[in-house]
Amino acid sequence: MPWLDTLDRYWHEITAWGALIDFVLVGVTVCWILTNKKEATSALAWCLLVVFLPFVGFLLFWQFGYQHVHRPVMRKLRQKQRFRQTHQAETAAATPRVETAAMPSDWRGLAQLARRFDAFPLTGGNDLQLYHEGQPAYDAMLAAIEGAEHHVHAEFFIVQPDDTGRRFVAALTRKAKAGVETRLVYDAMGSHRLSRATLQPLRDAGGQAFAFLPLAPLRRRMQINMRNHRKILVVDGRVAFTGGLNIGDEYLSKDPHFGFWRDTHMRLEGPTVAALQRVFLEDWDFASGTHLKGDCYFPESRPHAGDTAVQVVHSGPDQTLNAIREVYFAAIGRARKRLWIATPYFVPDAGVYDALRLAGYQGVDVRILFLFRPDKWLPFLAGRYYLGDLLDAGVKVFQYAKGMMHAKVMLVDGQWASVGSANL
């Protein structure tokens, strides 16, 4: 065959040029990795892969490396900065004056630390209702939507096209037909089963729905590490819901694959609702490209709606430091008596792992509750890797056996708690 003859004739030249190209490619890729990866372990792993797998290592990093999310991250960061500059009045409304009496004095330092990481101020006078099962929380959300007079803002990682999802979209559609401003943000990957047909009645009624970072394989936009994992519902700027629940049958214990679903969600009323509203509006601005302004989205909260102190801490890849991670780390370090953690996916970084062990060695009652029957085997097996040393340090580990435990909760000394959508 002619091409075999050509290869046999010039194989020395081909090998030499291949080695030279690989040498240059490795050098460029290693520099690329070192400028993109801040974690030494990750950078070293990628560098070794590129060095010992000629050409293939480069292709793997080019396809799966973190650098592909750099452009949307920068776009999100620029959008957030622009939003805050052009919505100064709304930003001020969403950052009310701190009520120093809202938290015991020995915990105010943690609230101030969170502020340094772009969290909202700690505010008192909030009413908070906790739900530990899906159906009561879902009923409360539907009731709030039915009572909406001006707007309904919903943002969820997962919206399933099942019976529960269709009922939720139908509730939004009814309010849109009644003239209420209705907006939905859903994550394109988490809600990949959600079809255009399911959302069309909502859009036909005048409601709006946008995917967060739509999947575009031809543009290599398939990243799983730049997704919107939030679960937020804001009604009329006065009532808000957040926590661990998405929209789907499984969250109401109606999916036989998961069985009973244990989760933690909450309803909020008071000044802290404005903070969740601003988080939604920033994400809406990014997902839809439309700007929402006006006092109608930040009405005066009901004075002294309750007696709970609440601080909204939000995180994302558009932050230099992960605010929730830093607050968790600081809270673990402040524990003196009890540190109880519930998380379905337990894969701590090195710093959090060492902090948990140190708390155990110091005699703190550290308890970690996670899954017994995993829905995702990879994080489950990765999490089990850490358990031996934690047990040796005196940490107690429990596995939830009744069904799916999806709650994301941290309790410290009976005085400070975190409830949200962030896994550990």
Tokens of 342: 């519930």
Tell me the CA end-to-end span of the chain in Å, nearest whole number: 59
- The three-state DSSP-derived secondary structure of 58-95 is HHHHHHHCHHHHHHHHHHHHHHHHHHHHHCHHHHHHCC
What span, in angstroms and rounded, lies between the C-alpha atoms of 344 and 50? 34
Burial group, residue 270, by CB count within 10 angstroms (0-12, 13-18, 19+): buried
Distance between CA atoms of residues 361 and 355, nearest Å: 10
Amino acid 278 reads: R
Catalytic residue, chosen from 68, 175, 187, 236, is 236
Task: Evaluate the CA torsion angle 97, 99, 100, 103 in order and state its sign.
Answer: negative
Q: How far apart are CA 329 and CA 316, in angstroms?
A: 17
Say which of 76, 231, 265, 314 is annotated catalytic.
231
Nearest residue to 356 via CA among 342, 343, 341: 341
337 is catalytic: no
For 285, the 3-state DSSP assignment is helix
> Which residue's entry shows tokens 């001006």?
150
Dist CA 79 CA 70 (whole Å): 14
Structure tokens at 274: 């404005």
Is-catalytic flag, 37? no
Q: Is 162 a catalytic residue?
A: no
- Known active-site residue 406: yes
Given a contact cutoff of 8 angstroms between Cβ atoms, the answer to whether 222 and 229 are in contact is no
Helix axes 350-361, 323-334, angle to 10 degrees: 10
The full DSSP string for 8-42 is HHHHHHHHHHHHHHHHHHHHHHHHHHHHH--SHHH
Pull the structure tokens for residue 71. 């452009």
Six-digit token pair at 371?
Answer: 């899954």
Catalytic residue among 229, 255, 354, 389: 229
Contact 51, 25 (CB under 8 A): no
Point out the residues that are catalytic: 229, 231, 236, 406, 408, 413
